[in-house]
């Protein structure tokens, strides 16, 4: 497979995963902001998904959603993300199922509808965000049941899980900044709940622990749970398997990539809560992000060009 094709498959999935994460964060923060605007500001979300030169600020929910969905000056606006995903999908049509291409193309046509910004201002914002999010869920289901298992599928999933690890790390770091500003245990509980809701782990947490929010339980679930599909360990384990499948099918050369992934997987799996507390959760997260950056750069240096 040409490196350009593999690169576009990875970025197609990364953009779709990033868009889904942004929509989840916007939806959960909208709910929380309605109840406690002093705790759940929009500013951290804008800063997290904007460049350092960005000067846009607002505490108006609709203005923030409009900026995050439609603003062409924001490189991580949903409109820009879906446009780039469509460009990548179009360039690799021969390597993805027709159904997957139609999903992405239909999403692009939906989000570029000139009437859509008006609907944001006139309709229920939650309904508006859910309608957008449905396109991501349809994409996940369609690509999973129509894409043949082979290098294209493996590269697409490498992109998905790379992006997911980065998002989980960013979302957790975001909440840690807010938690650091309060000594109130009740407020800390609100922030942890908000994190679990943002990554879709709230229901699983309640089923598993049947208790109030315990920081150690949340950290274990977010970083080390083997079955939670949005835990860091689950994603790194999947990445490890996918890279080995690409090596076995001669699409990737065997180098230290599998070593880096195996090392990160073992680090997350065997690190105890005491170890995490000793080094600080922020440092633990930064270590994971650094390892993921090295793994991503390793893929680029071995096989891919940095087109995106």
Single out the residue of 119, 121, 98 nearest to residue 110, CA to CA: 119
- Rounded distance, CA 240 to CA 234, Å? 10
Higher pLDDT, 105 or 245: 105
Q: What is the pLDDT of residue 305?
A: 47
Tens digit of each residue's pLDDT (9 = 90 or more) over 82-126: 999 999 999 999 999 999 999 999 999 999 999 999 999 999 999
pLDDT at 181 over 60: yes
In the chain, % of residues over pLDDT 70? 96
Q: Name the one residue in this structure whose structure tokens are 């230290």.
A: 256
pLDDT at residue 308, as a whole number: 42
pLDDT digits (tens, 9 = 90+) for 75-94: 999 999 999 999 999 999 99
What average pLDDT does the segment 241-265 reach?
Answer: 84
- pLDDT (0 to 100) of residue 273: 81
Whether the Cβ atoms of residue 67 and residue 58 lie closer than 8 Å to each other: yes
Q: Specify the pTM.
A: 0.91
DSSP the chain: --HHHHHHHHHHHHHHHHHHHHHHHHHHHHHHHHH-TTTS-SHHHHHHTS-TT-------HHHHHHHHHH-TTSTTSHHHHHHHHHHHHHHTGGGS-HHHHHHHHHHHHHHT-TTHHHHHHHS-HHHHHHHHHHHHHHHHHHHHHHSPSSHHHHHHHHHHHHHHHHHHHHHHHHHHHHHTT---HHHHHHHHHHHHHHTT-HHHHHHHH-SS--HHHHHHHHHH-SS-TTSHHHHHHHHHHHHHHHHHTTSS--STHHHHHHHHHHHHHH--HHHHHHH-HHHHHHHHHHHHHHHHHHHHHHT-----
Q: Is 188 a residue whose pLDDT tops 60?
A: yes
- Cα 156 from Cα 188, distance rounded (Å): 36
**pLDDT at residue 306 is higher than 70:** no
Query: C-alpha angle 88/90/94, rounded to 5°?
Result: 110
Question: For 73-94, b where at least 16 C-beta lie within 10 A, e where not — what string?
Answer: ebebbbbbbbbbbbbbbebbee
Tokens matching residue 156: 């697409």
* pLDDT computed for residue 304 by the predictor: 56
- Inform me whether the pLDDT recorded for 224 exceeds 80: yes
**Residues above pLDDT 90, as percent of the chain:** 54
Read off the pLDDT band of 302 (50, 70, 90): low
Q: What is the pLDDT of residue 303?
A: 58
């Amino acid at each position: 497979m040409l490196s350009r094709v593999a690169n576009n498959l990875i970025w197609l999935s990364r953009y779709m995963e990033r868009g889904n994460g942004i929509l989840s964060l916007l939806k959960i923060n909208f709910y929380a902001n309605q109840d406690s605007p002093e705790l759940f500001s929009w500013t951290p979300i804008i800063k997290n998904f904007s460049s350092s030169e960005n000067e846009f600020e607002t505490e108006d929910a609709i203005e923030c959603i409009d900026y995050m969905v439609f603003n062409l000056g924001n490189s991580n606006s949903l409109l820009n993300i879906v446009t780039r995903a469509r460009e990548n999908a179009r360039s690799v049509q021969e390597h993805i199922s027709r159904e997957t291409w139609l999903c992405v193309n239909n999403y692009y046509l939906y989000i570029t509808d000139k009437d859509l910004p008006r609907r944001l201002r006139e309709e229920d914002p939650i309904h508006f965000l859910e309608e957008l999010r449905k396109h991501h869920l349809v994409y996940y289901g369609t690509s999973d049941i129509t894409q043949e298992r082979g290098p294209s599928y493996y590269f697409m999933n490498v992109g998905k899980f790379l992006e997911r690890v980065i998002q989980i790390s960013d979302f957790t770091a975001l909440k840690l900044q807010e938690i650091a500003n309060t000594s109130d245990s009740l407020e800390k509980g609100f922030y942890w709940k908000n994190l679990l809701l943002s990554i879709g782990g709230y229901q699983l947490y309640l089923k598993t622990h049947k208790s109030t929010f315990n920081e150690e339980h949340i950290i274990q679930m977010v970083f080390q749970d083997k079955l939670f599909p949005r835990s860091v360990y689950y994603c790194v384990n999947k990445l490890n398997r996918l890279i080995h499948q690409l090596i076995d099918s001669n699409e990737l050369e065997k180098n230290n990539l599998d070593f880096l992934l195996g090392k990160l997987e073992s680090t997350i799996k065997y690190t105890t809560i005491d170890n995490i507390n000793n080094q600080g959760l922020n440092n633990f997260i930064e270590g994971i992000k650094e390892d993921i950056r090295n793994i991503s750069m390793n893929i680029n240096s071995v096989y891919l060009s940095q087109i995106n």
